[in-house]
């Protein structure tokens, strides 16, 4: 029942800050199910989702969601049950996401490339009871090691039910998690990020407000919907809240994406720079009418000025909106009315007046304006702790509840912010953050490897790729192909594989006697 206390493993906001967020209207104490039941009814005649030749109205989507929720409840799913969602971009993803909200079950949004290693971890950590995915053999493999996993549900069992009934009324606490997102963390497999109904609805409303979304808007969603940006920043949630249309793309190829923009008169696109670069390089760019696009949202890594210039030429009516965000919460957006130097050089400023931002040095002291410091934040839609990770939380949260993001920033004289790098040991491959430590720990189990350091190397399209630098045991040998085969055999997701291998006799050391990854990266670059 609401008010029974936080879910085990979830760190709630302190009462005084929660009271402030309610008083200022950020939290409205409503669940996603309550809000979207009204949305689906209010806009029932309008088109909500488009994919392929399929169009779904809000009314049809609403009936699908409630019928599916009733079916899941009959199956045995209950409030606060955790489930793994491992689905590609398709209407079933959206229907399942909202159906789970109706019964208060909590989806863990796995990425499609994740394999046994990650799925097994999510199930064990959260004691998940169901796996919704296309790879049932993977699900069966995970279930053999995790008796808590009771149900394996393929997409074919998630379709609309023309005779579907409504689920029973379920009292869901708006302070309960509505979703567990994945971190881009450096310490092994991603941590789980609890986002509550209160904070995640505000997240989408506030992000939508800086994009001027109205009922005539149309978003193209081609990034994986399991990611925070295409789901809720403003993403599917933000566009549906305003009665707008969402075109779900199943491919990121320019020859598939650009015709969708022309056909559906898309007004908003959200992508990472690596995708924009690929599209611009494709001859298809010159063969389609892209004049409907009013806004190009770019996040995940810095958008280079030359790419921005070419986007402006290719999408003649589009405002290129840089943003910086994290699944953990705080979002920065450039605004349309910002001065040119702010739009061209920065990632803007936070979207909420009560986003508290500190840039701190290694001792936790705030740095003067203009100097580089670690982004440290708290606010109405930023987490207070990772799920079931008390030791990690003790390291990455300050005593007064600020989240140490590991990102380095500098404050611009305008009050906007510039990203200057990161403290965390991550490889940013086209916006996907890969933990070097996770991959190193796996490579160290290879019998040929004595020591390893994974570092980023520059890439003109993806920004960075991973290079595995290894020191081998005497008389041992190793190829990139053999290493990849070994890591895949351990259940690693393919997108995390090293794409370059350097065999070395030893590693350069820092003044503290640690492997100097900075020196390694400079040599390889």
pLDDT, tens digit (0-9, with 9 covering 90-100), for 347-375:
999 999 999 999 999 889 999 998 989 99
Check whether 188 has a pLDDT greater than 90.
no
382 and 200 Cβ atoms separated by less than 8 Å = no
Task: Give the pLDDT of residue 511.
Answer: 47
Check whether 53 has a pLDDT greater than 90.
no
- Of 397, 385, 210, 387, the residue nearest 299 (C-alpha): 210
Taking each helix axis as running N to C, give the angle between helix 91-103 and helix 58-75, from 0 to 180 degrees, rounded to the nearest 10.
Answer: 60
Check whether 28 has a pLDDT greater than 50.
yes
| CA dist., res. 509 & res. 149, Å (int) | 45
Would you put residue 265 in left (φ > 0), alpha (ψ -120 to 50) or beta? left
Residue 175: pLDDT band (50, 70, 90) is very high
Task: Give the pLDDT of residue 42.
Answer: 98
33 and 62 Cβ atoms separated by less than 8 Å = no
Residue 173: pLDDT band (50, 70, 90) is very high
Task: Give the pLDDT of residue 176.
Answer: 98
Round the average pLDDT of the chain to a whole number and report it. Answer: 93
- Burial of residue 441, with CB atoms counted within 10 A of its CB: 0-12 exposed, 13-18 middle, 19 or more buried: middle
**pLDDT above 70 coverage of the chain, percent:** 98
- Average pLDDT, integer, range 450-467: 91
Homologous superfamily (CATH) of 426-524 is ANL, C-terminal domain (3.30.300.30)
Report CA-CA distances (Å) from 485 to 117, 403, 430: 15, 37, 23
- Average pLDDT, integer, range 116-135: 97
**pLDDT above 90 coverage of the chain, percent:** 78
Residue 217: pLDDT band (50, 70, 90) is very high
- Average pLDDT, integer, range 209-226: 96
Between 463 and 238, the more confident residue is 238
User: What is the DSSP code (8-state) at residue 36?
Assistant: H
Check whether 326 has a pLDDT greater than 70.
yes
Domain residue limits, the chain: 342-423, 426-524
| Cα–Cα–Cα angle for 258, 259, 264, rounded to 5 degrees | 105
| CA dist., res. 237 & res. 381, Å (int) | 15
Would you put residue 473 in left (φ > 0), alpha (ψ -120 to 50) or beta? beta
| CA dist., res. 438 & res. 431, Å (int) | 17
Q: Which helix (H) or strand (E) holds 258?
A: helix 254-264
- Average pLDDT, integer, range 110-118: 93
Residue 510: pLDDT band (50, 70, 90) is low
pLDDT digits (tens, 9 = 90+) for 64-98: 999 999 999 999 999 999 999 999 999 999 999 99
Residue 512: pLDDT band (50, 70, 90) is very low
The reply to whether 342-423 and 426-524 are identical in fold is no
Task: Give the pLDDT of residue 167.
Answer: 86
pLDDT digits (tens, 9 = 90+) for 301-316: 778 778 888 899 999 9
Burial 54-70 (b: 16+ CB within 10 A, else e): eebbbbbbbbbbbbbbb
| CA dist., res. 178 & res. 439, Å (int) | 30
User: What is the DSSP code (8-state) at residue 3?
Assistant: T
Between 336 and 423, the more confident residue is 336
Task: Give the pLDDT of residue 385.
Answer: 98
Question: Range with the lowest mean pLDDT among 149-158, 404-413, 427-436, 443-452?
Answer: 427-436
Q: And the tokens for 372?
A: 């580089």
Check whether 26 has a pLDDT greater than 90.
yes
User: Across-strand partners of 171?
Assistant: none
Could you tell me whether strands 372-378 and 295-298 are parallel, antiparallel, or unpaired per DSSP bridges? unpaired
Residue 261: pLDDT band (50, 70, 90) is very high
Check whether 522 has a pLDDT greater than 90.
no
| CA dist., res. 118 & res. 133, Å (int) | 14
Per CATH, is 342-423 categorized as 2.30.38.10?
yes
**Three-state secondary-structure class, residue 19:** helix
Contacts of 162 (CB under 8 A, 6+ apart): none
358 and 425 Cβ atoms separated by less than 8 Å = no
104 and 170 Cβ atoms separated by less than 8 Å = yes
Other beta carbons within 10 Å of 311: 21
Between 85 and 162, the more confident residue is 85
Question: Range with the lowest mean pLDDT among 2-16, 139-153, 495-509?
Answer: 2-16
Could you tell me whether strands 319-326 and 295-298 are parallel, antiparallel, or unpaired per DSSP bridges? parallel
Between 341 and 5, the more confident residue is 341
Question: Range with the lowest mean pLDDT among 134-138, 259-263, 296-300?
Answer: 296-300
pTM for the structure as a whole? 0.86
pLDDT digits (tens, 9 = 90+) for 380-389: 999 999 999 9
Task: Give the pLDDT of residue 431.
Answer: 82
């Amino acid at each position: 029942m609401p008010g029974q206390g936080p879910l085990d493993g979830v760190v709630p906001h302190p009462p005084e800050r929660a009271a402030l967020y309610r008083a200022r209207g950020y939290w409205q104490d409503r669940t996603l199910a309550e809000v979207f039941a009204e949305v689906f009814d209010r806009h029932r005649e309008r088109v909500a989702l488009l994919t392929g030749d399929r169009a779904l109205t809000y009314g049809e989507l609403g009936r699908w969601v409630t019928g599916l929720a009733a079916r899941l409840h009959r199956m045995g799913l209950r409030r606060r049950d955790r489930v793994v969602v491992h689905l590609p971009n398709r209407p079933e993803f959206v229907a399942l996401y909202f159906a789970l909200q109706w019964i208060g079950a909590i989806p863990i949004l796995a990425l499609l490339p994740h394999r046994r290693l990650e799925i097994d971890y999510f199930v064990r950590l959260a004691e998940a009871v169901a796996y919704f995915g296309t790879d049932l053999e993977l699900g069966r493999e995970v279930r053999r090691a995790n008796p808590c996993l009771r149900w394996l549900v393929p997409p074919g069992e998630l379709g609309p039910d023309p005779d579907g009934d409504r689920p029973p009324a379920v009292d869901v606490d708006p302070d309960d998690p509505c979703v567990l997102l994945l971190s881009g963390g450096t310490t092994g497999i991603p941590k789980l990020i609890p986002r509550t109904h209160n904070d995640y609805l505000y997240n989408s409303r506030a992000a939508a407000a800086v994009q001027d979304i109205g009922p005539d808007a149309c978003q193209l969603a081609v990034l994986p919907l399991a990611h925070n940006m295409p789901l809720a920043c403003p993403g599917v949630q933000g566009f549906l809240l305003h009665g707008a249309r969402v075109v779900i793309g199943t491919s990121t190829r320019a020859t598939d994406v650009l015709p969708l923009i022309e056909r559906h008169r898309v007004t908003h696109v959200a992508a990472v720079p690596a995708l924009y670069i690929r599209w611009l390089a494709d001859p298809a760019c010159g063969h389609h009418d892209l004049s409907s696009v009013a806004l190009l949202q770019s996040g995940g890594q810095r958008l280079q000025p030359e790419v921005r210039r070419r986007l402006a030429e290719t999408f003649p009516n589009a405002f290129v909106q840089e943003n910086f965000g994290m699944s953990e919460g705080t979002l920065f957006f450039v605004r349309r009315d910002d001065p040119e130097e702010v739009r061209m050089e920065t990632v803007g400023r936070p979207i909420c007046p009560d986003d508290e931002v500190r840039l701190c040095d290694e001792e936790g002291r705030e740095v003067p304006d203009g100097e580089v410091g670690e982004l440290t934040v708290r606010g109405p839609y930023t987490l207070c702790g990772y799920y079931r990770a008390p030791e990690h939380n003790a390291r990455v949260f300050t005593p007064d509840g600020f989240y140490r993001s590991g990102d380095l920033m500098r404050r611009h004289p305008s009050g906007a912010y510039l990203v200057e790098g990161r403290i965390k040991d991550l490889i940013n491959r086209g916006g996907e953050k890969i933990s070097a430590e996770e991959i190193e720990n796996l490579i160290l189990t290879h019998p040929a490897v004595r020591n390893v350091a994974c570092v980023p190397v520059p890439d003109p399209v993806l920004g960075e790729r991973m290079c595995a630098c290894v020191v081998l045991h005497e008389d041992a040998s190793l190829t990139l192909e053999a290493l990849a085969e070994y890591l895949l055999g351990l259940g690693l997701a393919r997108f995390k594989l090293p794409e370059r291998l350097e065999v070395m006799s030893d590693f350069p050391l820092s003044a503290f006697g640690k492997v100097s990854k900075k020196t390694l990266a400079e040599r390889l670059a």
